[in-house]
Structure 1
Amino acid sequence: MKLALFTDTYPPQVNGVAKTLKRLVHHLEKRNIPHIVFAPDSNQEELYADNIHRFISMSFFLYPECRIALPNLLKIKKQLHHFKPDLLHIATPFNLGLSGLTYGKKQQIPMVASYHTHFDHYLHYYHLEWFSNLLWRYMEWFHQPFSKIYVPSTETKEHLEKRNFANLALWRRGVDSELFHPLRSSSGFRDRYQLKRNYLFLFVGRLAPEKSLDVLQKIITQMPDELNREVDWLIVGEGPLRGALEQDMPSNVTFTGYLQGEELAQAYAASHLFVFPSTTETFGNVALEALSSGTPAVVANKGGVTEIVTHKKTGMIAEANNHDDFIQHILTLVNKPSLLKEMGLNTRQYALSQSWDTIFDNLLASYEEVIARKVLQTKYQKAL
């Protein structure tokens, strides 16, 4: 198998899609599968590699961490002709994805896609609901030619089925349970950020409207005073709302910006609860990372994250956009330390069952099935 991957988001960009695709590339390397990647440019030269081809890009207004590349079509065509891929995996529906789609159609190469982001959900937060019908018409057209469209959750699958998408297949996400581990907790991390109170509550994500940060702010500011005096909040991430949030949040809230690797793992492990009110997640990688770190999560009852957290076992599921319900669930856990501890054990046990190797190997098997089906179809057509 020889795979060509097209994506408009890739490290050093920091988001769940970019991280997942980077892990996929590492797995391809581990399994000795030849591959090339077409991705947006990077100002970090050390991230360039012979099989990663980058193009000038600009940020996408709905999601600045996702880039709109300006691909050189002749260069892409030349590189693909030389590489001779057996399969194209198109991860984003923007310019690079369109380039791959156009080439795959002309050359009749098997193609699969992956759907990562509910851009239609984002429109509400940017007052662009009028754009919804046009967006869906484009998305439906774009995804028609693919042999399989991989989605990260049953919720996402059902969302697309309502739009008459066909050939949908689950491709769930895993977690690095060695990196995100309860033993990463250390007093040194809390000292670094001067987190002295008895409890540490954590949010990790892009600081943007679609993450329901207005709900998070109400949770923090309307918590009962007797509990708030005992709680430090840690907000990990960057985004357009950071400046306004820093001005409006109380003194027990600390903003770290982006954290990665060991430092991010320490943040999860040092926390007592992960609080995540976002309703737009197709999966929710950050929630799974929290669970792997032994940290129960309180999440909204909308989106793919509900397939990660089990209510009253690995966390609590609150009514979406209802800050009072989040607060009540948080109070329940704080007032029952034995339940919180039991949940911490359950979260780790669940995360250990979510192996990246198993998930990626299942994806590779699905790739091979698509390729084999195309070979059989070609032989049949020739026989006719």
Structure 2
Amino acid sequence: MRIALITESFPPDVNGVANSVVRVAEHLVARGHQPMVIAPAPSSSARGVTGARSYPVVRIPSVPLPRYRGFRFGMPSARLTDALIAHAPDVVHLASPFFLGARGVALANQRNLPTVAVYQTDIAAYLRNYRLAWGEDITWHWIRTIHNGADRTLAPSSTSVSDLAEQGIRRVHRWGRGVDTVRFHPSKRSAGVRRALAPDGQLLIGYVGRLAAEKRLDLLARVSRMPGVRLVVVGDGPGRKEAEKALPHAVFLGQRGGEQLARIYASLDVFVHAGPHETFCQSVQEAMASGVPVVAPAAGGPIDLVRPNLTGTLVPPGDGGAIADAVGALVKDPELRQRYGLAARDSVAGRTWAAIGDELIGHYAEVLQGRSVRPRLAVAA
């Protein structure tokens, strides 16, 4: 098949959308398909670090997002139309569609091209966190129009499937995310990393992800002050200064990747996440693949990933005290940490990107087979 992947984010961006699009495109190439990626152009300072790809990448003019200048959104233009026509795709894949994706689904409908829309970002929740709640209803209307204009919507968790159904979005199927179980592995645990981060032998409690308001890093304040514990924060983003103020005792490592990130994950004693708006939460899955027990809110993606009393602990969303209590119980019990960590690794062993990629190809095939039986819903271009 020839597939056009229209995405709102792509490397050098570091986030779940960009990472999953890369994994999908690489898997399609490995399976003999012909993907093309259409993505926003990076900032001028990042254009030299985008890297070579085994598939074509078409960049669309972009502008920085207000209040989050590290993220850019693509401006739909004739370049998108020309790229789509030139590739002549059998299927159009819309990754977290909003700006480029809206134009992409309109163009696909105009040309009677099958479409699969992948829901990955709870934009409405982000608006609330950035004090833009007045735009939530408008945003859901826009998302509903885009996704109901697609042949099929794929959502990453049971919670997101339910949320989309409640918002009137139809034809929703669940499709999760893969994890690199070779890169993220308990064997990457490093005595050197532990000495560098905890020179006095403290236990390492870690967070990996973007530093932004919706991640609620302030809820980790009690954890950061626990005796015998060192809180390690990996990542960057617009909320870094606020996080550093809220967590003055934590170690902030900035953005890390590759084998260095794998060693950090595996060297943790407990992984902790506080954000309640995760549609999936890939960092939880990477920590589990690394053999690390998890403490996370009982909301969104973590509900499907963490099995309480087996691989970690789920706590009430927004409750910093409950997070500290759950971490404290694991800090006091090394046997419990080991048992949870082993079970966590076992629970994700079959969730490889190859397996998830094959599931996606199956969705493409089903959409192609059933395409002729459903009337199209027009979407304004």
What amino acid does structure 2 have at the position aligned with 1:234? V
Give the Cα separation in 2 of the matches to 1:12 and 1:102. Answer: 27
Report how many residues are paired: 370
8 Å contact from structure 1 (residues 14, 65) kept in 2? no
Contact between 1:9 and 1:65, CA under 8 Å: does it hold in 2? no
Q: Which residue of 2 aligns with 1:257?
A: 254
Name the residue aligned to 2:370.
373
The aligned runs of 1:53-72 (5 Å cut-off) are: 53-61=58-66, 64=69, 66-72=71-77
Q: Distance in 2 between matches of 1:245 and 1:234?
A: 12
Question: What's the secondary structure of 1:44's corresponding residue?
Answer: helix
Query: Aligned letter for 1:246?
Result: E
Cα 1:329–1:45, aligned 2, differ >3 Å: closer, same or farther?
closer
The residue that corresponds to 1:7 in the other structure is 7
Contact 1:8–1:66, Cα closer than 8 Å, also in 2 = no
Higher relative contact order (CA 8 A, sep 6+): 2
Distance in 2 between residues matched to 1:208 and 1:141, nearest whole Å: 28
CA contact (8 A) 1:10 1:40 kept: yes
Contact kept? 1:180, 1:289, Cα under 8 Å: yes
Work out the CA distance in 1 between the residues paired with 2:303 and 2:92: 31
**1:268 corresponding residue in structure 2:** 265
Matched residues, percent identical? 31
For residues 107-186 of structure 1, what are the structure 2 equivalents within 5 Å? 107-186=111-190
**Residues 296 and 347, structure 1, Cα contact 8 Å, conserved in 2:** yes
Deviation at 1:63, TM superposition (A): 5.5
1:229, CA displacement in angstroms?
3.0
**Structure 1 residue 161, shift from structure 2 partner:** 0.7
Aligned to 2:207: 203
Corresponding letter in the other structure for 2:347: Y
- Structure 1 runs not aligned, ≥5 long: 222-227, 379-384
C-alpha distance after superposition, 1:84-120 (max 9, x if no partner): 1111111133332123122112111111101001111
Partner Cα distance (1:91, 1:313) in 2? 33
1:327-338 correspondence to structure 2 within 5 Å: 327-338=324-335
Quick check: 1:196–1:232 contact (8 Å CA) kept in 2?
A: no
Q: Whole-Å Cα distance in 2 between the matches of residues 349 and 207 of structure 1?
A: 29
Offset at 1:77? 2.8
Normalised by the length of structure 1, the TM-score is: 0.91
Q: Hey, what's the Cα distance between the residues in 2 that align with 1:80 and 1:258?
A: 34
> Would you say 1:346 and 2:343 are equivalent positions?
yes
Task: For 2:76 and 2:140, locate their aligned partners in 1 and report how far apart those are by CA, in whole Å.
Answer: 24
Structure 2 CA distance, aligned partners of 1:375 and 1:141? 20
Paired residue for 1:96? 100
Alignment of 1:27-38 (within 5 A): 27-38=27-38
Aligned-partner Cα distance in 1 for 2:342–2:186: 10
Q: CA deviation at 1:217?
A: 2.4
Please list the CA deviations of residues 296-333 of structure 1 after superposition, one character each: whole Å capped at 9, or x if unmatched: 00001111111101001000111111111112112222
Is the Cα contact below 8 Å between 1:296 and 1:315 reproduced in 2? yes
Deviation readout 1:99-147 (Å, 9 max, x if unpaired): 3122112111111101001111112211111111111111111222111
Moved over 6 A (4+): none
2-side partners of 1:376 and 1:37: how far apart?
28
Deviations 1:41-97 (A, max 9, x none): 131355255611012212323665542112431x33333333211111111333321
Q: What is the aligned partner in structure 1 of residue 232 from structure 2?
A: 234
Q: Is the 1:190–1:196 contact (alpha carbons within 8 Å) kept by the matching residues of 2?
A: no
Check 1:3–1:332 CA distance in 2 against 1; reply closer, same or farther (3 A cut): same
- Give the whole-Å Cα distance in 2 for the aligned partners of 1:353 and 1:347: 12
Q: Distance in 2 between matches of 1:361 and 1:248?
A: 43
Q: How far 1:214 moved relative to its partner?
A: 1.9
**What's the C-alpha RMSD, in Å, of the aligned pairs?**
1.9
Residue of structure 1 in register with 2:18 after alignment: 18
- Assess if the C-alpha contact under 8 Å between 1:15 and 1:65 holds in 2: no
Task: Kindly indicate whether the alpha-carbon contact (under 8 Å) linking 1:173 and 1:356 is maintained by their aligned counterparts in 2.
Answer: yes
Partners of 1:263 and 1:122 lie apart in 2 by 30
Shift of 1:373: 1.8
More displaced, 89-98 or 7-16? Answer: 89-98
Name the SS for the 1:9 alignment partner: coil
